[in-house]
Amino acid sequence: MSTLTPKVKNTSTSPEKTNIKIEDDRTGMDKETLKRAFLDQLFYIQGVDRSKASLRDYYMALSYTVRDRLLHRFLKTIETYKKEEVKIVSYFSAEFLMGRHLGNNLVNLGIYDTMKDIMTEMKIDFEDIIEQEPDPGLGNGGLGRLAACFLDSLASLAMPAIGYGIRYEFGIFHQTIQDGWQVEIPDNWLRFENPWEIARPDDAVEIKLGGHTEKTHDENGNPKTFWVADRTILAVPYDTPVPGYDTNTVNPLRLWKAEASENFNFEAFNAGHYDRAVQEKMDAETISKVLYPNDNTPAGRKLRLEQQYFFVSASLQDLIRIHLRNHDNLDHFADKVAVQLNDTHPAVAVAELMRLLMDKHNYQWDKAWEITTNALAYTNHTLMPEALERWPVSIFGELLPRHLEIIYELNHRFLEDQRTYFAGDDDLITNISLIEEREEKLIRMANLACLGSHAINGVAALHTELLKQDTLKHFAKLWPEKFFNKTNGVTPRRWILLSNPKLSALVTEKIGAGWLKNLDEMRKLEKFADDAAFRKQWREIKQQNKQSLADYLLKYRNIHIDPNTMFDVQVKRIHEYKRQHLMVLEIINLYNRIKENPNADYVPRTFLFGGKAAPGYFMAKLIIKLINAVADVVNNDPDVRGRLKVVFMPNFNVSLGQRVYPAADLSEQISTAGKEASGTGNMKFAMNGALTIGTLDGANIEIREEAHPENFFLFGLTAHEVYDRKAQGYSPSEYYHNNGSLKAVIDRISSGHFSHGDGELFGPIVEQLMTDDPYMLMADYQAYVDCQDAVSEAYRDQENWTRMSILNSARMGKFSSDRTIAEYCNEIWDVKPVEIKIAEYNPNGANN
């Protein structure tokens, strides 16, 4: 039985004769056609024959074979959108964590198994070919992966869409571990040719920076402003086709590369000034050099703002150009374009669209503002005020003087209007102002996004409520009708079908393949939860996935893990609020128990961690060091004897996630309640049958509701209890003095037991937990320990554990990104699906 793709008939027969289907080698999907196309690509594009081909040659040839089939649909998709003048979703995001393209594109085209069979017949290791593809780190975590899932769902639902972002030359960074510490090295994902992108230099646009503005009047006597920039760079687009599953739709992801308007100063070179001759080129290219440059310095903050403006301006100019190909003006721009701002990174779009409309296309303020607010919508991804971007007015004005003028004018008009309705409410006026009045004035980008958008949404039910009650409460008071909840989702194509082919095959065998386009159909699995034979199949697949992860980690990471232990997993960005260190406290607690009573019966566990810490985030990097230090001691203690192992998997990325999620038994979602906006890793784990231990935070709440409380391991304070506990005067040291288990854990860290006797190394973690503990680890510790004990007892009953696992997967239909996107399309974007029709190949004429 095929695991990833259906069998497709490509010939028809009758008693009288056989009708042979002739296919184009560039577009045909027949097995022999694909094999021939692959060998042609190997010879004519890679320039090698099979006797001298490397794995990379095979990867490139296979990728170009797949890309040919995408391009046929891609060009037809763009042609259809243009011809039918459809409304298009434009998703603006500083991050697109797409993952590897080859496997996903094979799945969405329906030829994964066919190509795998071809490679097997040719005695080429298919998995080794897949491993040749770099996994670009063009995102930091959930934000960028969400954007990628949304693009997949938009195409799978046949929705017209284009993603806009930056083609970073280097991704976030490649993480290595040296002496337990995170070490960042460049993520040079472009060191070899990228077969999936198409450069479009003819569509390059100019981006201005710096300079000053000049006032004048147009021919009708209306005020007019000119921006006289002191720098101009080029934004060059690179398009990556993004296919939908079981549809002809292939939408573009357009990423911008920064280039100098003049690459080489010939006069300077001839004068012997060789460095100056290429200085402009180097300065320009810095903008798209790396994802999230360290902003601990003024130069780093300035570069981040340059990056944000760079891709926003390029994208808006591109959308306007596309619109004007079919229309005489921009009066109805918002009827044809829905721009979604993914967090505050693209929030400067509010001022930039106003600038383009007024300064370039001669609209007066009121009409420009109407178009702007109708076109833009804003997604908030954080509840923490410190994470809402603010730019110093001095830096902003230096780089974007015209935009600073527009923001001040927006603020003046906005506040004057609100003072009319809320006279005397100084607190509201202070909090909604676009300018934070401090010694160093700051521009509040979240406020700008709220003001300039017709819709504002959170990404989980609790998150949206807390936005309205706290983080953005003043805007919710002004415009309650603007606020929506759009609980995040993930694509089941990558995160079940591609990641977990054995489970996908079992599900399809039992309920059919409809679940891949409608994940709610997974509910049909509930009736099998009490079927002992089905539970056995389910459990065997989980064990095979654990063995597969163990084999992979040994082969590619030189890490040994025992697949016969419980896999207890936390993989996500390293941050204090996500509380990786709470999990470490429990590991030390278990270690202490084993040391005290080595002969007791313990459920063997492998604790798996993965994630990156921001380069400038000291505490997060120290947490990574603590994890590895504890691992070094625990894993080498003879008293443990295989009952407890701690592993930090370096450089966690999408591809490793595809192996980890299907293998996990327990999913750790233990953030401080009220801090996580949504989470999407929690969804990927649950879809693949892992049970969740977690707090009532983010989408955990809705996952628990869907899975039912008896299938979720809940612990910890609620968001309101966290707030109340702090308001009453939280004293974390009291928990230390009143809890012997917690005291023993903290004392073991402080003693230097995990740091070769150095009691100072982890002092910052201990001191924070004892004196401040902003993320309430001490308050939640005992509840977490008790809950983990309940997990161990539940795991002993493998029949019931498997039943819970089945029900978790069966009830995760709500968390498909297809559902999320359908809600956006219906309630915020007003975008409809568009059928893309592909004509049959005609060998006697053009293939259209």
Residues with catalytic roles: 381, 572-573, 578, 680, 684
Long-range Cβ contact pairs of 475-479 (< 8 A, separation 24 or more)? 475/432, 475/447, 475/450, 475/451, 477/428, 478/418, 478/432
CA dihedral 381, 386, 388, 394 (to 10 degrees): -160
CA dihedral 686, 688, 690, 696 (to 10 degrees): -10
d(CA 354, CA 339): 14
Over its C-alpha atoms, the chain yields an Rg (Å, rounded) of: 28
The answer to whether the beta carbons of residues 79 and 325 sit under 8 Å apart is: no
- Give the residue among 625, 842, 507, 500 at the shortest CA–CA distance from 177: 625
The answer to whether the beta carbons of residues 429 and 418 sit under 8 Å apart is: yes
User: Residue 165 corresponds to which amino acid?
Assistant: G
Distances (CA, A) of 806 to 250, 413, 501, 700, 847: 33, 56, 16, 18, 46
Residue 476 φ/ψ, nearest 5 degrees: -65, -30
d(CA 486, CA 821): 9
Residue 112 CB contacts under 8 Å (≥ 6 apart), including other chains: 4, 5, 103, 106, 498
The answer to whether the beta carbons of residues 229 and 212 sit under 8 Å apart is: no
Provide the H-helix boundaries in 400-531.
401-421, 426-432, 445-452, 461-466, 473-478, 492, 501-511
User: Residue 523 corresponds to which amino acid?
Assistant: R
User: What string of DSSP letters covers 782-798?
Assistant: HHHHHHHHHHHHHHH-H
Question: Mind spelling out the 3-state secondary structure of 557-587?
Answer: HCCCCCCCCEEEEEECCCCHHHCHHHHHHHH
d(CA 654, CA 198): 23
d(CA 259, CA 660): 39
d(CA 569, CA 577): 17
For residue 293, give both structure tokens.
């440059």
Say how many C-beta atoms besides its own lie within 10 A of residue 324's C-beta.
13
The answer to whether the beta carbons of residues 170 and 134 sit under 8 Å apart is: no
Distances (CA, A) of 329 to 314, 361, 695: 19, 8, 52
